[in-house]
Amino acid sequence: MRQLRESLLEELNSKNMLETIGTFNHLFRYSGTAEGEAAVSYLEEKLSEYGIPFEHCEYDGFFSLPVRAFAKVDGVEYPLVGDVYSAEADSLQGTLYYDSLSEEKGLTKNQEKDRFESFRDKIVLTWESKGVFVRRAMEAGAKAVLHICATKGDYIHHSNIGMIWGTPDFDEAAYMKFLPSAGIRRADGEALIEKMAAGEMDAEVTIEMETKIRRSSMVAVDIKGKSDSFVLVSGHYDSWYEGITDNAVSDAILLEYARVLYAHRSELKRGVRIAWWSGHSDGRFSGSTWYCDSHYADLRKNCVAHVNLDLTGCKNSEQIVARTAGSEGISYTADLIEKYTGKRPDVYIPMIRGADQSFWGAYVPITIMLKYEPLPEKRLSDCPSGGPWWHTPKDTIDKLDEKIMMRDAKINMEMLDDIQSAKMIPVNIPVFLEDLDGRLKKTLSGLAPEFDTTEICAEWNRTKEALEKAAERAESMEDSDLFLKETVGKLLHIVYCRKAPYLHDYGDGFGIFGAIGRCKGITKDNTPLDVYVMAGSEYLRMKNRLCMGLREIQEQAERI
């Protein structure tokens, strides 16, 4: 195993990666466009050159790209960037309103009600840009939303206000209606806030979009191992502009993985499946969602881990922190990160609702996406990359750091090889349960007394006991992959999601035990009566879902 690991790492060739990056440097890889399809053709040509078989995938998706946008206020024109899925506006006029409460946190439901009621018939200037906020603004009667970019300087990061994960189904179609929404530079937003302090101002907004159904291609390589189980390693190839660090470098690394791993395919215990997604930015993860939907039975039965590569090889990203579902325990990724950076993280970031995390319902027991970021003293922005160029035209070839590229290629290769080769995939059930236990207690402590937690606590304690005993027995199993999928993988779906496993949650922030946590802070005194009554219904249903899921895990654990 050690000899294979050394070979896999030594055979990674930076020249091959740079060739791919050089090709992608000339392609604006929007999903379903000529240049996006050219990127897929390049990948397939290289795979054919290497003698590697691949699966060519095609699907129809709802894709959205901004064309032009600007606002006029008091005779001054301000550049905007239209959000993915924004409605169009042609010289839309209205009163500009500053959402000052967007600077506050922890609002009660009553405060939120008053806040959104003030948006009616206004063009709302705000610091908030998430899809759930924009939808609530639309429902409250706002005319448009202009969200201020938090990054200082001449930046407006592309955003996506779509709430539907992937391509909508019939029940989700209603959520594909939007109001005009765009980003504005920080300096311009702050200047407008200052002007508005002197009195009411009118604004005129124009947003032109290209939103349509297009057919998009993707490619996947299935490198078989001795077992039917496999590790999914993925990244998105679609980009904003040439998108070098987001995500051309990762695409190049994945292509090199395919070459090296295929050459050693006879030595693999588990398979490795490598996939390049479209629809990440311009379609709310529609490519990975389609792949999950269309390959669901295979993924549900055989996928034991998902390692996602995003924002690799970025200059100034000297530090690594693990974004992970947490089942492997903090020490697993911390050991690797310390080996490659010399700095050991003492925390992990729970997996986000983003980044092509479309596989919760396939009961994948390990999900990891490393986060590459600047050292605190070198941080230039809050962007999830080495600098403020993320999702802007400035994510160009000069942002590539070849040394960091090779570091990122090697750390992820070592991780995926460790998972594929292990007798038992590196899930640390006792540590994982201890971590979840603390998070559940924190969530439940934020609930008002009327939300009874007795049943949840009882089922959780029984689940911990059953899984801890089963973990000891699993170590002696010849093949524990299915057991871990049906227990740890199922548990991850229960605590990170709220819908059925063959559906996809909305693309809003959620968090661990988020289905129960939505009721945190709600009391009869601080919440409108109708919302309070709905919260009671929400809590009962999500409590039933959690408790029944925990019972099923107990039964599965007791079978081995």
Pull the structure tokens for residue 539: 């809590």
- State the total domains in the chain: 3
Q: Are 508 and 132 in contact (CB under 8 A)?
A: yes
In terms of domains, do 228 and 342 share one? yes
As a whole number of angstroms, the distance between CA 147 and CA 256 comes to 39
In terms of domains, do 79 and 188 share one? yes
In terms of domains, do 41 and 105 share one? no
In terms of domains, do 270 and 371 share one? yes
pLDDT at 1 over 80: no
As a whole number of angstroms, the distance between CA 541 and CA 536 comes to 9
| Strands (E) located in 278-362 | 303-308, 319-324, 349-350
51 class by beta-carbon count within 10 Å (0-12 exposed, 13-18 middle, 19+ buried): exposed
User: In terms of residue numbers, what domain contains 171?
Assistant: 64-210
Confidence of residue 418 (pLDDT cuts 50, 70, 90): very high
CATH number, domain containing residue 132:
3.50.30.30
Q: How many residues does the chain have?
A: 560
As a whole number of angstroms, the distance between CA 284 and CA 163 comes to 8
DSSP 519: T
In terms of domains, do 553 and 458 share one? yes
Q: Which of 159, 182, 210 is the last residue of a domain?
A: 210
Mean model confidence pLDDT for the chain: 97
In terms of domains, do 343 and 396 share one? yes
In terms of domains, do 142 and 276 share one? no
Give pLDDT, residue 313. Answer: 99
Torsion sign across C-alpha atoms 329, 265, 298, 37 = positive
Percent of the chain with pLDDT over 70: 100
In terms of domains, do 339 and 440 share one? no
Give pLDDT, residue 380. Answer: 84
Q: Which of 167, 191, 210 is the last residue of a domain?
A: 210
Q: Convert the pLDDT of each residue in 212-240 to its tens digit.
A: 999 999 999 999 999 999 999 999 999 99
Query: For residue 527, which phi and psi values (nearest 5 degrees)?
Result: -135, 135
What SS3 state is found at 497? coil
Q: Which of 177, 210, 243 is the last residue of a domain?
A: 210
Give pLDDT, residue 381. Answer: 87
Confidence of residue 421 (pLDDT cuts 50, 70, 90): very high
Query: For residue 376, which phi and psi values (nearest 5 degrees)?
Result: -50, -40
In terms of domains, do 325 and 239 share one? yes
CATH number, domain containing residue 23:
3.40.630.10
In terms of domains, do 152 and 238 share one? no
Classify strands 89-98 and 201-223 as parallel, antiparallel or unpaired: antiparallel
As a whole number of angstroms, the distance between CA 465 and CA 487 comes to 13
Give Cα separations from 455 to 227, 292, 319, 493, 543 (angstroms): 40, 33, 42, 20, 8
Q: Convert the pLDDT of each residue in 309-343 to its tens digit.
A: 999 999 999 999 999 999 999 999 999 999 999 99
What is the reported pTM?
A: 0.97
DSSP 305: E
Pull the structure tokens for residue 298: 């295979």
pLDDT at 544 over 90: yes
R_g over Cα of the chain: 24
In terms of domains, do 408 and 449 share one? no
Q: Are 484 and 425 in contact (CB under 8 A)?
A: yes
Q: Convert the pLDDT of each residue in 285-311 to its tens digit.
A: 999 999 999 999 999 999 999 999 999
pLDDT at 560 over 90: no
In terms of domains, do 48 and 146 share one? no
As a whole number of angstroms, the distance between CA 373 and CA 314 comes to 8
Q: Convert the pLDDT of each residue in 435-462 to its tens digit.
A: 999 999 999 999 999 999 999 999 999 9
**CA count, 13 A, side-chain hemisphere, 454:** 3
136 class by beta-carbon count within 10 Å (0-12 exposed, 13-18 middle, 19+ buried): middle
Which residue type is seen at 518?
A: R
Confidence of residue 2 (pLDDT cuts 50, 70, 90): confident
